[in-house]
Chain A
Amino acid sequence: MDVTNVMAHVASSVDVTNILVEVAPRFEGYVYPNEASPEPLWGILIVIYPYITGLVAGAFIMASLVRVFRVQALEPVYRLSLLTALSFMLCATMPLLLHLGHPERCYEIMMTPHLTSPMAIFGFVYAWYLMAVLLLELWFDYRQDFVEWSQTEPGFRGMLYRALMLGVTDESEAAVKLDMKLGWIISIIGIPSAFLLHGYVGFIFGSIKANPWWGNVLMPIIFILSAMVSGIALCVLNYMVLTWVRRKKIDMRCLDMMAMFLFYALVIDAAVEGLDWIHRIYSAEEDFSVIRYVATEKLFYTLNIGQALMGTVLPLLMLGLNQVVRKRLSDMARKRMYFASALMIVLGVFAMRWNVVIGGQLFSKSLRGFMSYKMQFIGMEGWLLGLVVLSIPFIILTVMIKLFLSERLPTAGHTPHPTPPSN
């Protein structure tokens, strides 16, 4: 039975509508009584959570291009990418905690982690990634600088750098070499960890077999790929904004290289997401009429316009054009196109997270009806709090840039992409 037919029937008769669609026209068709809520169970905060986590994973992959794959052109953004990843990582659990019914009980997830739950495992993946990967890689990279800066910088800064040295003052060539070697190893461990981190976020949704919009084997892969795309795009934006604020000249070789990786990542991402849709359309399972209605009607603007056109097709065209005719375009034209593409991608991936999280809650699991929600401005699931949560990582990043990427502070001579350990 085609759900849209049922709804046409419902709409065709006023009497029927009054009886069958209870309370308010928020619901079309039949939804389970417990689903008839005016607000989605998972709202804007749960949209922001995979978005932030994705930016972390993407920004880290960006940094790994320098350290592991030794893309020298990207060296100017190495530390910026890592600091971006760290600032977003520090905020990744915030929307989750704010969303919990009992945030004061959150420690239970670490004390009695239920190992069959993707969410419980995420606690450990998160801790691993933050402490064993991000902080360690940064520490190895910065240790020598901390030693130097702690001697030259007075006051609070000096104390901070001294504390961050963790008491290791060894600046000998052998020690620095060891730092670089260990950093390289951490970075290699970090790449699968980044995939694991965001793959797990995808799995939190992909494992919900009760929900055909979510329960999908490709979900973790789509999440990883879109994470890479959004993370690289964010690094492009951060780099361009930072150089503009500091009135510095942009290193066009670096920017072109970032745009190239962004383009390739986007191509793969678009291909896999397209494959997902082809599979859904072709196999057209029980739930397909519902999914089609959600994709073409309920999420028309955010999915078709926001995610597909603005977030994927237009950036693909612009970045693709740059790959083909780069030499004929002026620096200024390229900068503008890169900036526009990166901005559209960052917004498009946000739309993608929105479509996944909210889209999965727009239809009844009875597959007989649909819900509609009106976004509030104020409140726990309102726009305002969402904007606040999203702005906090940027504030942290600004502070970090001031502390660890200051123009006043000289950096030690070492490069982040040393010759790999050659025994």
Chain B
Amino acid sequence: MRLFNMPPQIVRLCLVTIGIVGSYLVARAVLTPPSFREYGFFRGDALKDIMALPPQYGGKVSCDECHSDQFTKLNKGGHKRLSCEVCHGPGYAHTQSPDAGMHKPTFTVCSKCHEANPSRPKTHKQIVLKEHYAGGKCMECHVPHSPAEVP
């Protein structure tokens, strides 16, 4: 086979090269995801995939819809900066359907922040639980939604 008077080796190799490069380009056209490079060097649809994941924590504002009394009380006291879900646990499911219950807080939610530890900032209120009250029933004396209040 003589094409443009080229030696047969070269012709064969050119054909093989064209075949390889061509099939690569075809494969690339077919297999590159359509949304690739939409925003940058990644699959643009990945953003939508990640956005679509369901949340577990509903956010503090959503609690106000039904529990505005507790919500208002909380926002007046020393715990005003706390989100409800710090102690009550994730509540997105509860906001969607009230049947989905919430975590019942025990004294551990108090001690996880207020147990004395020298690594904690000095300005943070801390107690040594064993010395403070061995009974461990914080709510006998404290109102979590309004820490300054005495029940």
Q: Which residues of A contact B (CB under 8 A)?
A: 107-108, 110-112, 114, 131, 136, 140, 143, 166-170, 175, 178-179, 182
In contact, B9 and A111 (Cβ under 8 angstroms):
no
Would A166 and B16 be within 8 Å (CB), given that A111-B32, A112-B36, A114-B41 are in contact? yes
Closest-CB distance, B119 to chain A (whole angstroms)? 12
Residues of A within 8 A of B7 (CB): 170, 175, 178
Determine the distance from Cα of A272 to Cα of B38 in the docked complex, in whole angstroms: 46
Whether B31 is near chain A, meaning CB under 8 Å from some CB there, is yes
Q: Which residues of B contact A (CB under 8 A)?
A: 1, 7-9, 12-13, 16, 20, 24, 27-28, 31-33, 36, 41
Residues of B within 8 A of A175 (CB): 7-9
Closest-CB distance, A359 to chain B (whole angstroms)? 32
Closest-CB distance, A370 to chain B (whole angstroms)? 24
Please list the 5 inter-chain residue pairs (A to B) with the smallest Cβ-Cβ separation, ordered nearest first. Answer: A168-B8, A166-B12, A111-B31, A111-B28, A111-B32
In contact, A112 and B32 (Cβ under 8 angstroms):
yes
Determine the distance from Cα of A382 to Cα of B8 in the docked complex, in whole angstroms: 49
Determine the distance from Cα of A131 to Cα of B17 in the docked complex, in whole angstroms: 9
Residues of A within 8 A of B12 (CB): 166-168
Q: Per a CB cutoff under 8 Å, which of B8, B16, B27, B41 touches A170? A: B8
Residues of A within 8 A of B27 (CB): 107, 110-111
A–B complex contacts, Cβ < 8 Å, 19 sampled? A107-B31, A110-B24, A110-B27, A111-B32, A112-B32, A112-B33, A112-B41, A136-B13, A166-B16, A167-B1, A168-B9, A168-B12, A170-B7, A170-B8, A170-B9, A175-B9, A178-B7, A178-B9, A182-B9
Q: Which residue of A lies closest to B43 (CB)?
A: A112
Residues of B within 8 A of A168 (CB): 8-9, 12
Question: Is chain A's binding surface mostly helix, strand, loop or mixed?
Answer: helix
Residues of B within 8 A of A107 (CB): 27, 31
Residues of A within 8 A of B16 (CB): 166
Determine the distance from Cα of A270 to Cα of B41 in the docked complex, in whole angstroms: 41
Determine the distance from Cα of A169 to Cα of B1 in the docked complex, in whole angstroms: 10
Determine the distance from Cα of A258 to Cα of B24 in the docked complex, in whole angstroms: 40
Residues of A within 8 A of B36 (CB): 112
- Taking A111-B28, A111-B31, A175-B8 as known contacts, 11 extra A-B pairs with beta carbons closer than 8 A to each other, sorted by chain A number, are A107-B31, A108-B31, A112-B36, A131-B20, A136-B13, A167-B1, A167-B8, A167-B12, A178-B7, A178-B9, A182-B9
Determine the distance from Cα of A182 to Cα of B9 in the docked complex, in whole angstroms: 10
Residues of B within 8 A of A166 (CB): 12-13, 16
Residues of A within 8 A of B9 (CB): 140, 143, 168, 170, 175, 178-179, 182
Q: Which residue of A lies closest to B28 (CB)?
A: A111
Determine the distance from Cα of A170 to Cα of B12 in the docked complex, in whole angstroms: 12
Closest-CB distance, A165 to chain B (whole angstroms)? 9
Residues of B within 8 A of A112 (CB): 32-33, 36, 41
Closest-CB distance, B39 to chain A (whole angstroms)? 14
Residues of B within 8 A of A182 (CB): 9
Closest-CB distance, B133 to chain A (whole angstroms)? 26
Closest-CB distance, A136 to chain B (whole angstroms)? 7
Q: Which residue of A lies closest to B9 (CB)?
A: A168
Residues of B within 8 A of A114 (CB): 41
Q: Which residue of A lies closest to B15 (CB)?
A: A166
Residues of B within 8 A of A178 (CB): 7, 9
- Which of A111, A114, A136 has the largest count of B CB atoms less than 10 A from its CB? A111
Determine the distance from Cα of A112 to Cα of B34 in the docked complex, in whole angstroms: 12
- Which of B1, B9, B24, B28 has the largest count of A CB atoms less than 10 A from its CB? B9
Determine the distance from Cα of A178 to Cα of B13 in the docked complex, in whole angstroms: 14
Q: Which residue of A lies closest to B11 (CB)?
A: A168
